[in-house]
C-alpha cells in the first residue's frame, strides 16, 4: 500500500536487531487518516469472507483494527495483556512471547465476545515471528471461532511469521512487506497489498 510504504520511508527509523520504529504514526503518535486508509484496505481485501469480528491485541493493533471493523460493519475486540479487575467473566487465555519486549505475557479475551459462530479477521501492526498472531489464533480456537484471515500493517519478511501462519492455512495480507533492515535502511519486497 503506497501511502504506508511512503510513510515508512519518511518517518520509520531502523533500530538495531531488526526493529523498525514507527512511533510517529502507529505505535505512539497515531495518524488517523493513514490508519483509516489501512482499515478500509483490509475491509476491501476481506470483504467476501463474511467476517463477524475483528480481533487484535493491545495496544498498537487497535487503531487499524478499529477502522477495519468500522468499514466491515462488525465489532472490534482487543485482547488484553494484563488482567483487569473488571474482567470478571470466564476468559480465553494464551501466552505470547513479545519480540520487542522479550517477555512472555498472558493475553485474554472474555469468552462472551467470541463463539463458534464467529469468523474472525485478525489485525496487528507488525508481523515478526508470528507469536502475537499465534496467541490470538489460539484464543479464537478456544472459542471455536474460525480465523478467516490476518491483516498486518508491516510485515518483516526476513522473519518467520508469515511461514508459520501460512503453515496453518490462514491467508495473510500485509500492507507493507520489508525484505531487510540492513545498514539502517528499509528495503521493501515488491509485492504488498
Q: Does 100 sit near ligand 5GP (CB under 6 A)?
A: yes
Phi and psi at 112, nearest 5°, equal -65, -15
Separation between Cα atoms, residue 34 and residue 65, nearest integer Å: 12
Give kind and range of the element (H or E) at residue 105.
Answer: strand 104-110
The verdict on whether residue 131 carries a ligand-binding annotation is yes
Binding mask 137-156 for ligand 5GP (x = CB under 6 A): -------------------x
Q: Does 105 sit near ligand 5GP (CB under 6 A)?
A: no
DSSP letter (8 states) at residue 95: E
Q: At a CB cut-off of 8 Å and minimum separation 6, what does 191 contact? A: 177
43 or 137, CB closer to ligand 5GP?
137
Question: Which of the ranges 34-42, 103-111, 129-137, 185-193 carries the binding residues for ligand 5GP, by CB under 6 A?
Answer: 129-137
51 or 107, CB closer to ligand 5GP?
107
Interaction residues for ligand 5GP, span 21-50 (CB under 6 A) = 21-22, 27
Question: Which of the ranges 69-77, 85-93, 104-112, 122-130 carries the binding residues for ligand 5GP, by CB under 6 A?
Answer: 122-130
- Are 69 and 102 in contact, with CB atoms under 8 Å apart? no
> Which listed residue (39, 64, 130, 151) binds ligand 5GP by CB under 6 A?
130
Q: Does 60 sit near ligand 5GP (CB under 6 A)?
A: yes
124 or 192, CB closer to ligand 5GP?
124
Nearest to 148 by CA among 107, 113, 117, 111: 117
Nearest to 64 by CA among 154, 153, 165: 153
Question: Which of the ranges 4-12, 15-23, 85-93, 143-151 carries the binding residues for ligand 5GP, by CB under 6 A?
Answer: 15-23
The verdict on whether residue 128 carries a ligand-binding annotation is yes
The verdict on whether residue 27 carries a ligand-binding annotation is yes
Q: Please report the DSSP string for 121-177 in residue order.
A: EEEEEEESSSHHHHHHHHHHHHHT-EEEEEEEEEEETTSSHHHHHHTTT--EEEEEE
Q: Which residues bind ligand 5GP (CB under 6 A)?
A: 19-22, 27, 60, 98-100, 124-132, 156, 161
Amino acid at each position: 500500500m503506497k501511502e504506508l510504504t511512503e510513510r515508512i520511508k519518511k518517518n520509520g527509523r531502523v533500530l538495531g536487531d531488526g526493529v523498525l520504529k514507527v512511533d510517529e504514526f502507529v505505535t505512539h503518535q497515531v495518524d488517523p487518516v493513514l490508519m483509516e486508509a489501512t482499515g478500509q484496505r483490509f475491509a476491501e481485501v476481506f470483504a467476501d469472507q463474511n467476517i463477524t469480528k475483528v480481533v487484535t491485541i493491545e495496544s498498537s493493533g487497535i487503531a487499524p483494527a478499529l477502522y477495519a471493523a468500522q468499514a466491515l460493519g462488525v465489532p472490534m475486540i482487543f485482547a488484553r495483556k494484563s488482567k483487569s479487575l473488571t474482567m470478571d467473566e470466564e476468559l480465553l487465555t494464551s501466552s505470547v512471547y513479545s519480540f520487542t519486549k522479550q517477555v512472555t505475557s498472558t493475553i485474554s479475551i472474555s469468552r462472551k465476545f467470541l463463539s463458534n459462530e464467529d469468523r474472525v479477521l485478525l489485525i496487528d501492526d507488525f508481523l515478526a515471528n508470528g507469536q502475537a498472531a499465534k496467541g490470538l489464533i489460539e484464543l479464537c480456537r478456544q472459542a471455536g471461532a474460525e480465523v478467516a484471515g490476518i491483516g498486518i500493517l508491516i510485515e518483516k519478511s526476513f522473519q518467520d511469521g508469515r511461514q508459520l501462519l501460512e503453515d496453518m492455512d490462514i491467508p495473510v495480507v500485509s500492507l507493507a512487506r520489508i525484505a531487510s533492515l540492513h545498514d539502517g535502511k528499509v528495503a521493501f519486497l515488491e509485492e504488498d497489498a
